[in-house]
Amino acid sequence: MSASASSAPAAIQRALISVSDKTGIAEFAKSLAGMNVELISTGGTSKALRDAGLKVKDISELTGFPEIMDGRVKTLHPKVHGGLLYRRDLPAHLAQAKEHGILPIDLVVVNLYPFEQTIAKGGVTPEEAIEQIDIGGPSMIRSAAKNWESVTVITDPSDYTAVLRELRAMGNTTRPTRLRLASKVFALTSRYDGAICAYLESLGEGDAPQTVSVSGALKQALRYGENPHQKGAAIYALPGFNEPSVAGGKQVWGKEVGFNNVLDLNTAFEIVKEFSTPAVSVVKHNNPCGVATSDTLINAYLEAYAGDPLSAFGGVLGMNRPLTLDIAEAILGASGFKVDAIVAPSITPDALQALTTKKKWGANVIVIEAGSLEKFKRSNNGGAHSAQYRDIRTIPGGILVQSPDVSLWEEEFANLKTVTKRAPTAAELDALKFSWIVCKHVKSNAIVLAKGCSVVGVGAGQMSRVDSVEIAIKKAGDRAKDTVLASDAFFPFPDGPEAAARAGVTAIIQPGGSVKDKEVIETCDRFNVAMVMTGVRHFRH
C-alpha cells in the first residue's frame, strides 16, 4: 500500500472547476473559497464564478498558454495533467513537479459537454453534434480519477453536499468517498464514449461495426428478473434515446416494477405508438390479446378489451392518448376485470385517484407516464427511432445486434400486391392494414384476426403456422366470421388459409415468398378469399 493510501492527504488547497451544468456551482465554489481553496476555471464557468463575486484564476494563467481554437484546446497541458497525476508519495514525482513549476490540483469539478442532450433534440447536424464532443473534460476527470488516492473528482452536482460536509470536517475527503467518485468517472466516460461511438456509427452506411458499445445508466432496480430466483434485474437508460418510451417514462403510482412488467408495458406502448388515431392495446405475456383504434380513446378501450376479456384479466394496458377520468371509469366498470399495469403519455389527477382508490387492485396497479406523443413523428413505426438505437439481445458468451424493425407503413402499403382473383374491398383493406401493423408485435409464428380496426383473435408463438391460425380462430369464436387475417411470414402450406377460410375469414395479408405460394393462392380463390402480399416479413422472436 502506498503512503497516500495509508495516510490522509493534506487539506485541499486548489480546485479546478469547468462545468457545462452549472447547477449549484456558484454556491459550491463560494463554500470552497470560504475554506481558502484557490479556484481555477475556464471559459463560461470562469465568468459565472466571477459574476457570483468570486476570485478566479483563469486556466491560461496557470498554464502560461492561451485558450486557442475556439476553446478546443485549453486544458490539455502538462501543468494541468501533471498537477492531477503526480503522486504525492513519490519523491521523484515531487521533484519533477517542483522542477517544472507544476502545482498540485487537489479537487476537480467537471461535467462534460452535453453531447447526449444535443443529439436527442432532433434536427441536429453532424457538425453541431461533433462540437459537443468533449475532449479536455474526459481527459481531466480520468487523470483525477486515476490518482484518486490524492485527488477528489466531482462530475455530478448531487455530490457537492457530501464533499463539502467532509471538507468542513477534515479539510479533505475520505478515501472511500474519493474511490466512489473515481468509479463514477469511469462509468460516466464509458457511457459518454458509447453515445459518441453509437452516433458516429449511425452516420455510416449501416454495415455491422467492428465493435459495439453498450452503455446504460441505472434508471431503476426491479423486483427480480423473469422469475423470482433471477436476481440483479434493473432498467438501464441508453444514451441518446429521447423519444416517448417505457424506458424513459415516469412511474406515478404502484408497486415496485418487475422485469416482466417492463416487457409487457413496452410492447403495449410500442403497439399504440404505431397509430395516429386513438389506440389502446391489451398485452399479456408480452403478446397483445386485444388492440383497437377508434375515433375516441374510450371506444378504442372498449373494443380492445372486448378482443379477449378472459386473457385481459391481470394484463397491461397501453394507450396513445392521455388517460382521463372517463377511461378510468370504463376500466373500473368492467365486471371482474383487474389491471396490473397501465402506460399512457400522461394521466389526469382525477383519473389516477379513481384508478387507485375504487378497486382493491388499485393500490398496487403500476401506472407509467411515457411522455407526450404530440411531437412524435409518425413516419415509420409510429415514429423514427433515434438513429443510434439498436436492437440488442444477449446469448451466453455473446450479443446479437440488429437495426430495429422500423416499418415504413406507407411504403409497405403502397406496394401491396393483390394475388387472388378477388381484390379486397375498401373496408377489408383498412382492416388488413390494421391487422398487419398489430401482427408485427406478436411473437412468431404470428396470426392476427381483425374485424374493422379491432383485434378479435391472436395466435402466437407456435412452431407450426397452421396451429397459430387455429388458436386465433378458437380465440375469436363466433366472431371469426367476416374477419381479415394477418400473418407475419409466408404460409408454407395452404392448410392455414384453408382453415381461416372455413372459419369465415374473407381476406388475408401476408409477405408471400413460399414455394407453395401458388397453392396458397389457389386455395384462397377456391374460397373467394382476397389475398394481398407485402413482400416484407415481420418475425418477432
Question: Contact 173/167 with Cβ under 8 angstroms?
Answer: yes
Phi, psi of 273 (to 5 degrees): -65, -20
Residue 206 is predicted with a pLDDT of 62
> How many CB atoms neighbour CB 102 within 10 A?
21
Containing H/E element for 109?
Answer: strand 107-111
530 - beta bridge partners? 507
Question: Contact 500/481 with Cβ under 8 angstroms?
Answer: no
Residue 386 is predicted with a pLDDT of 53
What pLDDT, in 10s, does the model give residues 416-455?
999 999 999 999 999 999 999 999 999 999 999 999 999 9
Helix (H, G, I), strand (E, B) or coil at 402: strand
Question: Contact 486/436 with Cβ under 8 angstroms?
Answer: yes
For cell 377508434, what's the residue?
Answer: 294
What pLDDT, in 10s, does the model give residues 58-107?
888 787 787 777 767 777 788 888 888 888 888 898 888 888 888 899 99
Question: Contact 530/424 with Cβ under 8 angstroms?
Answer: yes
Question: Contact 529/501 with Cβ under 8 angstroms?
Answer: yes
Residue 3 is predicted with a pLDDT of 41
User: 289: exposed, middle or buried (C-beta count within 10 Å: 0-12, 13-18, 19+)?
Assistant: buried
Residue 384 is predicted with a pLDDT of 43
Query: CA-to-CA distance for 387 and 409, rounded, in angstroms?
Result: 18
Beta strands in 124-199 (DSSP E): 152-154
- Which residues form the catalytic set? 146, 285
Residue 315 is predicted with a pLDDT of 95
For residues 403-420, one letter each, b for 16 or more C-beta atoms within 10 angstroms of the residue's C-beta and e for the rest, the string is eebebebeebbeebeebb
Q: Which residues of the chain have pLDDT under 70?
A: 1-8, 71, 122, 205-207, 239-240, 375-388
Query: CA-to-CA distance for 282 and 12, rounded, in angstroms?
Result: 58
Question: Contact 244/367 with Cβ under 8 angstroms?
Answer: no
Give DSSP secondary structure letters for 220-277. Answer: EE-S-SSSTT----EEEEPTT--SS-STT-EEEESSPP-HHHHHHHHHHHHHHHT-SS
What pLDDT, in 10s, does the model give residues 343-383?
999 999 999 999 999 999 999 999 999 999 886 654 444 44
Query: CA-to-CA distance for 385 and 160, rounded, in angstroms?
Result: 36
Cell of 42: 475556464
pTM to 2 decimal places:
0.79
> What single DSSP character describes residue 361?
G
Dihedral class, residue 517 (left if φ above 0, else alpha if ψ from -120 to 50, else beta): alpha
Query: CA-to-CA distance for 58 and 352, rounded, in angstroms?
Result: 53
Beta strands in 32-85 (DSSP E): 38-41, 57-58
Residue 374 is predicted with a pLDDT of 82
Query: CA-to-CA distance for 477 and 489, rounded, in angstroms?
Result: 24
Cell of 99: 522542477
Long-range contacts of residues 472-481, Cβ cutoff 8 Å, at least 24 apart = 472/447, 472/448, 473/449, 473/499, 473/500, 473/503, 475/289, 475/308, 475/311, 475/449, 476/449, 476/503, 479/451, 480/449, 480/456, 480/504, 480/505
Helix (H, G, I), strand (E, B) or coil at 447: strand
Give DSSP secondary structure letters for 84-98. Answer: HHS-TT-HHHHHHHH
Which residues neighbour 237 within 8 Å (Cβ) at sequence distance 6 or greater? 216, 217, 219, 247, 248
Helix (H, G, I), strand (E, B) or coil at 53: coil
For cell 508519495, what's the residue?
Answer: 89
Length of the chain: 541
338 - beta bridge partners? none
